[in-house]
Chain A
Amino acid sequence: MAAPKKGRGPSGGQGRPGRALALILIAMVALTGGMFLSGHTTPRLGIDLAGGTSITLEAQNQPGKPNAINKTNMDTAVGIIERRVNGLGVSEAEVQTQGRENIIVNIPKGTNSKQAQEQVGTTAQLYFRPVLTVQASGPEAPKPSGSATPSGSATPKPGESAEGEDKPDAEEATGSQATPSASATTQGRAVTGALTKDDPTPGASDKPKPSDSPEASPSADPATAKLQEEFAKLDCTDPKQRSEAGQNAKPTDSIVACGSNVPGSYEKYVLGPAEVSGSDVDDAKGAIEQQTGEWIVSMEFTSKGAKKFQTITSRLSQQQPPMNQFAIVLDGEVVSAPSVRTALSKNAQISGSFDQQSAEDLGNILSYGALPLTFEEVSVTTVTAALGSDQLRGGLIAGAVGLALVIIYLVAYYRGLAFIALLSLLVSGVLTYTIMSLLGPAIGFALNLPAVCGAIVAIGITADSFIVYFERVRDEIREGRTLRPAIERAWPRARRTILVSDFVSFLAAAVLFVVTVGKVQGFAFTLGLTTLLDVVVVFLFTKPLMTLMGRTKFFSKGGPWSGLDPKRLGAQPPLRRSRRVNAPTEPKEA
């Protein structure tokens, strides 16, 4: 109804408008100062504005593992993907989970996005498989010939080393439950370590080395024959063949796979069925071996894994090289193939020519490589820097145009009041900008195109709050009140309207943020942030400023340019009230 039945609201900050203004001023100064101190004076830009590649992965449900997609697994996957992508020298790539089953990989412009994409796209499953055959692999690889043995590698010949067959014995598994740190591998390690370094171009030699042959692998059924054929054809120096080898194989099958011990050199393997899986590894890390001071990788198995590992190692330790090796296979690729000297159980160490990096890497692979998840690339967006800056410019121009239109409308309709609205919008803008800039380093917030849209749309939401308040003030003036009481009386009711409608807006933004993924989320975040800031600005800035302005001559006189001219507003004193205010220049307190 027209006449408010309520009295003046309890608060409204009428008495101390300065305090609220000071508060928001301090907040602005603090945020701006913090922004400059942190060195992030612009919001971090998303891939679509800065250019680069953004890959969205979706975890695939695994049959028989209904709860495989959980936070732990997703975080582990993020760790592995991060390691892989950054392993390419992409230092600024960011990998993060989004929603329940998505991982977003953002690769900035200027890096080899194609290679990164390949790395990201592969699945991550870790198995320990016994080695049946191993061979250097090159474009013209010879027929399966043989493989290195620990003894052979002790007396290296240049021709042999050129074939890169040192790989399997470059690392050796040792240790046991009883003597976990005991190492008896110094001899072999030193030699093979040297071999590894001497081995720049494997596969260059076509000299067969008659020491072992694929025929040595158990049984000669058709599957094995097929495997041999595959093995013969496999060329690990071809990236395509390399990435396809060993993929999509069942753990229970024998497979062919590639491995690389030294960058640029490859070995190919025939591997038996998986006997231990990555999930059997409880923990693994790179560590310095106390006695020798060299880098090793220590592994600890789960109790179930320990049994399995004991079975495989006790059998392998009886075998002749290369069949005394087991291969650690990550995503169908052999990451390490240590040979086994004794039966091992719960604790084991892999020693060899590790440096800190490679030991920690292998440790990570062993602990985290055992992902029970496979991922599918559901979306890949590549934006050139040119398009990115175009879009950013477009967004900024659109924002400027929108802002200008709003200001023109406000000035045309609200005259002097538009000044207050303008200042409030400015404060809101400063707060939004500084907070966005600070959120970049703080929580990894990146401004993307939808977020820019959200900010532009928010101009309207913010201005709407002012309109609600201004209209209420004008209503009060129409009731015949003078400006100062009108400002105070209008506030409690406008405040409620603003809170309710902002709450609804915020609810929409919050629901969108929680439920959705990708671009929608960026938009929802900005919208939610600006809605919150709208409340802050209206309470701490617009209202106090209005109170202060109500004391100035310009507004209280109610001139035609103040936007509060009682005559223009058609103020009519209440009929049955004694308090008639026909002379607006005479402010009266209610």
Chain B
Amino acid sequence: MSRLGNLGARLYRGEVGYDFIRNRKIWYGVSILITITAIIGVAVGGLRLGIEFEGGAVFTTDTKAKISTAQATDVATEASGHQAIVQELGNGGLRIQITEVGTAKANEIKETLSDELGIPANDINADLVGPSWGEQIANKAWTGLVVFMILVVIYLAIAFEWRMAVAALIALIHDITITVGVYALVGFEVTPGTVIGLLTILGYSLYDTVVVFDSLKEGQKDITKQTRFTYSEIANRSINSTLVRSINTTVVALLPVAGLLFIGGGVLGAGMLNDISLSLFVGLAAGAYSSIFIATPLVADLKEREPQMKALKKRILAKRAAAAAKGESPDEGPEDRRDDGSPDAETAGTVIGRPRSHGRTPGKR
């Protein structure tokens, strides 16, 4: 029974499973803690903005310069009047970064560098950015973010219901906050590539969430006509039955990104590929986590506030209490294999599973 396929089957039938809903407060706590850390990180440390956001010039050479890195720093600093940052790249070339220079000045600096480094000006890559450009990119990214959030909430509210839309939105904000926080805490440089990655998380983070919600929507149909499961239990079951899918989609989404990260970071050195994939990687991981541990439990929380669901829960608990008093299991339904309802008066979320699998996690894969 240790094989993956079987585990998938048992998860699907609810024979094994982790009670995501009952333990939701733990995960909420974890998330709040991470989010607060992220916010503090951004507030205290701030983000290390790349040259693209602050304005300035980046020159990169493909070939080895005839002078040392330290000398190149002096040359660039002198030519620009600002402190230059010079890094050596994997291919022996140099990356020279100078802040606060205009595009006209940058051309002069390029000529000077060309002379001093012994590299023809045509073989020097230059990236000159005016300060307003980065601001514009950032502003437009924010606009895009807000417009997307509004549209997606409207769409999810229509396709599913507003509670799910709200939960998905909270999960999304959660993912983005965490990603930004990681950047602040670790001190990665934020570039337009990072922003691209961050914005891509928008669609991706929701992918898993939508898969779970879809299953949940199916499960909650005719919920009031039965007296065996509370909403939370159904929600929990939805998560567990789609767990394999969520894990697989996340892994498959992460693999190409990992390829990008490996090639971008390992082979090409710093660059756009690296920046996009890094933020994507962090965001996707956060997205997979939040769709399971945050979004769906939030929906359950919201749903349980409904009078209908409250009444349902009351009925179910009463029924279970009666059954427990009689000492028999009332739950042998026509379609389901659940043997035991595991009555739990404390929380609505009950472990879905046979007694032997109570509280057991699916295990590492």
Contact = CB atoms under 8 A, between A and B. Distances in A.
A516 interface: yes
Listed residue (B5, B52, B335, B337) with the most chain A CB atoms within 10 angstroms of its CB: B5
A468 interface: yes
Nearest to B271: A391
A5 B122 CA distance: 68
A297 interface: no
Nearest to B131: A378
A58 to B, nearest CB: 7
B192 A413 contact: no
A175 B109 CA distance: 52
A422 interface: no
Nearest to B207: A501
Interface string B235-270: 001000110110011011111111110111001100
B180 to A, nearest CB: 17
Interface in A392-432: 394-395, 397-406, 409-410, 413
Contact of B196 (A379, A387, A507, A520): A520
A9 interface: no
Interface in A546-589: 565, 568-572, 574-576
A518 to B, nearest CB: 7
Interface stretch (B273-281, B294-302, B312-320): B273-281
A515 interface: yes
B208 to A, nearest CB: 8
B129 interface: yes
A402 B287 CA distance: 20
Contacts of B303: none
Interface stretch (A23-31, A131-139, A451-459, A537-545): A451-459
A381 B159 CA distance: 43
Nearest to A406: B255
Nearest to A463: B252
Listed residue (B196, B210, B336) with the most chain A CB atoms within 10 angstroms of its CB: B196
A573 to B, nearest CB: 11
Contacts of B337: 572, 575
Contact of A401 (B129, B211, B259): B259
B139 to A, nearest CB: 10
B127 A381 contact: yes
A376 interface: yes
Contact of A384 (B13, B125, B128): B125
A417 to B, nearest CB: 12
A501 B268 contact: no
B159 A500 contact: yes
A378 B199 contact: no
Given A380-B126, A504-B206, A508-B199, A409 B62 contact: no
A102 B335 CA distance: 61
Contacts of A2: 12-14, 237, 241, 335-336
B308 interface: no
Interface stretch (A209-217, A219-227, A252-260, A470-478): A470-478
Interface stretch (B18-26, B42-50, B74-82, B145-153): B145-153
Contact of A468 (B125, B245, B262, B334): B245
A204 to B, nearest CB: 29
Contacts of B52: 379
A283 interface: no
Interface in B60-80: 60, 62
Given A377-B103, A570-B10, A405 B62 contact: no
Contacts of B360: none
Given A114-B107, A517-B137, A518-B137, A460 B196 contact: no
Interface string B163-184: 0000000000000000000000
A272 to B, nearest CB: 30
A44 to B, nearest CB: 18
Contacts of B335: 1-3, 574, 576
Given A453-B272, A457-B257, A475-B12, A406 B196 contact: no
B214 interface: yes
A1 B219 contact: yes
Interface string B182-208: 000000000011011001101110110
A391 B263 CA distance: 10
A390 B206 CA distance: 34
Contacts of A4: 218
B3 interface: yes
Interface footprint category on A: 35 or more
A529 interface: no
A511 interface: yes
A99 interface: yes
A493 B218 contact: yes
B263 A382 contact: no
Contact of B257 (A114, A402, A450, A520): A402
B128 A381 contact: yes
B207 A456 contact: no
A143 B219 CA distance: 93
Contacts of A5: 221-222
Given A405-B258, A450-B276, A520-B195, A384 B137 contact: no
Given A450-B196, A504-B207, A571-B9, A381 B126 contact: yes
A405 B6 contact: no
A394 B264 contact: yes
A403 B258 CA distance: 11
Given A402-B259, A520-B196, A576-B335, A471 B132 contact: no
B214 A398 contact: no
A390 B62 contact: yes
B263 A505 contact: no
Nearest to A450: B196
Listed residue (A4, A454, A503, A523) with the most chain B CB atoms within 10 angstroms of its CB: A523
B118 interface: no
A532 interface: no
Contact of A450 (B8, B155, B193, B211): B193
Contacts of B215: 497
A69 interface: no
B141 A520 contact: yes
A464 B259 CA distance: 17
A450 B272 contact: yes
Given A1-B219, A383-B125, A391-B268, A501 B136 contact: no
Interface string A1-29: 11111000000000000000000000000
Contacts of B159: 500
Return the 7 tightest CB-CB contacts between A and B, nearest first. Answer: A570-B9, A402-B256, A402-B259, A508-B203, A460-B253, A378-B133, A398-B263
Given A1-B221, A117-B103, A403-B256, 6 more contacts: A2-B13, A56-B133, A413-B248, A519-B272, A523-B200, A570-B10
16 contacts: A378-B130, A386-B62, A387-B62, A402-B258, A413-B248, A450-B196, A467-B249, A497-B211, A501-B211, A518-B192, A520-B199, A523-B200, A569-B6, A570-B10, A572-B9, A574-B335
